[in-house]
Amino acid sequence: MYQHSPGNPLRRNHLHRNRRRRRGVAAVLAMMYLILFATLAVGFFAMSSTSVQVSKNDAMSTQALNAAQSGMEFVRYELNSLNVRDNYDFTATPVFLDIYNQLSAKLTGMGTMAGKTVSLSADQSTIYLPAPTAGGSVQWISLDGQTDGAGNPTGAAFNATITHSGDKFVVKITGRNRNTQIQRAVQLAYQKVANKSSLFNYGVASKGRVLTSGASWVKGPTGNADPLGSVLSADTASLNPVVIGGTGISGDVSIVTNNTVTFSGAYVGGTNVSSIIDPPAPNRGTGHIHYNIPSPPFPDIDTTGFAQFATNAYSNSNVLTNVVIPPNTNPNFTGNLTINGVLVVQPPNTVTFRGNTTINGVIVSPASPGAPAGTYPAFNASTNVLDFRGNVSATSVDAKDASGNYLLSDSVAKLPNGTDLRQMTGAFILAPNFKTSFSGSFGTINGSIISGMVSFSGNAGGVVQGSVIGNEVQPLSVGGSSQIIIQGRGTTNVPTGVSFGDHLGPLPGTYDEVMP
């Protein structure tokens, strides 16, 4: 048998071949590791590049979504500041046209719009903000002010559409990122929300000037420093929107401009010291005169609910129960008149109340026949007049006698459908297109006086359990020896038939991200 030995040449050759085989395997393994690491490196590079691109896409998508949400906040602010008549049917086209007209008036010329406008689709179903170009191309509103030479946004931007669906309004906002490569869209439904107003916090308020003269006083029930005797003028044209030429007012004066309030020698807020009433600059406006206040909404009046009670024709009687006075009647009541329930005075009419007048209810002017509720013939101080020259007392529709029984019986105050006049409280006069004047004394008037124009003269005076409001840009005057005592009811007791319009508020549960 053959034996290997260290000195055997055959053994040496065999060992040499084994060594060469092992050196070849090492090279192969090295190449495999090289390929593996190279592959991993390429993979890591690809993954890093993809992550960067994904991050970039996420950032651009987020920018676009932020632009859409910012646009929604912009539109929400504008819809919140609308004043749409409360008596509009919110399912009908006119309310959508009113919203369009208000948005167009508010936004046209605004710097944010950069010369762009608001438009309405031909079928009056969609509002575009901003309007498309003449060629139909979509336009955008810049969010960061970055624009090209033509004023078109080059940075983050948005556009909006508003569509009418039943009694809801659907707002869709499309936002884009600054590179205009990615768009995102959000959608939110809006519905009508009643506006609020601080108007009934004032004893006397007018869209026009407020003028007092003679020995007149406007005060609250507790005396010469009662804040219920406050006065507001929303007049923007006059250099002297409020002139306190009478003895004084017990509350403060507020105006919506920075113009002059005249009060020389008069009491305002319980004092006649000029430097306390209105300190000089730099403290001007920190006393009892307030400038540049936001004008509170003045009311929309809808007397339709009251007018349905007035089913009786007018007759020359000393007792009028739920009566309509036809146009051009011009009655002159000479004394001892009693009005029960609702008295509807159709314009044109000059109605004069002389002597003693007792009113157990409310006096109203009706809306225009065939027009939307709350739409009235034009104000006319010459032909539409309620003139109280004698002693007047007025009780609320829900007043009771000493035994606790309603002064207005069921036959006067209840309709067959169950509507009860005695629940329609808070007003004495609702006549937005009439001038109402008082020149005689009155006891207690239970309810607010809201008329196009209001004046007190002679020895007119008494207690008004409510506010006195002039709803037209006409002077509201208190003169002679009139002493008007205001027992205001505040903003939580708005009279029936009175509203301050509506704005559009969002329905949070309807928010959604949608396709651009």
Provide DSSP, 426-482: SEEEEEEEEEEEE-SEEEEE-SEEEEEEEEE-TT-EEEESS-EEE-SSS-EEE-TT-
Distances from the Cα of 172 to the Cα of 102, 162, 214, angstroms: 19, 7, 59
Which segments within 250-315 are labelled E, that is strand?
Answer: 253-255, 261-262, 267-268, 289-290, 300-301, 312-313
**In degrees, to the nearest 5, what angle opens at C-alpha 390 toward C-alphas 328 and 303?**
50
* First-residue to last-residue Cα distance in the chain: 92
Is residue 349 within 8 Å of residue 325, measured between CB atoms?
yes
CA distance 323 to 340: 9
Spell 397-416 as b/e; 16+ CB within 10 A means b. Answer: bbeeeeeeebbbeeebbeee
Write 178-181 long-range contacts (CB < 8 A, 24+): 178/63, 178/144, 178/146, 178/154, 179/60, 180/154, 181/60
Question: Among all chains, which residue has been given the structure tokens 């509103």?
Answer: 141
What are the φ/ψ torsions at residue 12 (nearest 5 degrees)?
-65, -40
- pLDDT tens for the chain, 516 residues long, are 445 555 555 555 555 555 555 556 777 777 787 787 777 777 776 666 666 556 666 777 888 999 999 999 999 999 998 888 766 778 888 889 999 999 999 998 888 888 899 999 999 999 999 999 988 889 999 988 888 877 788 889 999 999 998 999 999 999 998 766 789 999 999 999 988 889 999 999 999 999 999 999 999 999 899 999 999 999 999 999 999 999 999 999 999 999 999 998 999 999 999 999 999 999 999 999 999 999 998 998 999 999 999 999 999 899 999 999 999 999 999 878 999 999 999 999 999 998 889 999 999 999 877 666 667 888 999 999 999 988 888 999 999 999 999 999 999 999 999 999 999 999 999 999 999 999 988 888 889 999 999 999 988 888 999 999 999 999 999 999 989 999 887 777 889 999 988 899 999 899 999 998
pTM: 0.78
CA distance 189 to 166: 11
Supply the pLDDT for residue 103.
Answer: 95
Supply the pLDDT for residue 2.
Answer: 47
Other residues' Cβ atoms within 10 Å of the Cβ of residue 316: 9
Pull the structure tokens for residue 485: 């005592």
Nearest residue to 143 via CA among 173, 178, 172, 171: 178
Sign of CA dihedral 131, 133, 137, 142: negative
**In degrees, to the nearest 5, what angle opens at C-alpha 132 toward C-alphas 131 and 134?**
115
Is residue 178 within 8 Å of residue 156, measured between CB atoms?
yes
Is residue 440 within 8 Å of residue 421, measured between CB atoms?
no
Residue 286 is classified by DSSP as S
Pull the structure tokens for residue 234: 């929303």
Nearest residue to 107 via CA among 80, 129, 88: 129
CA distance 431 to 433: 6
Q: Where are the alpha helices (DSSP H) in 81-199?
A: 93-107
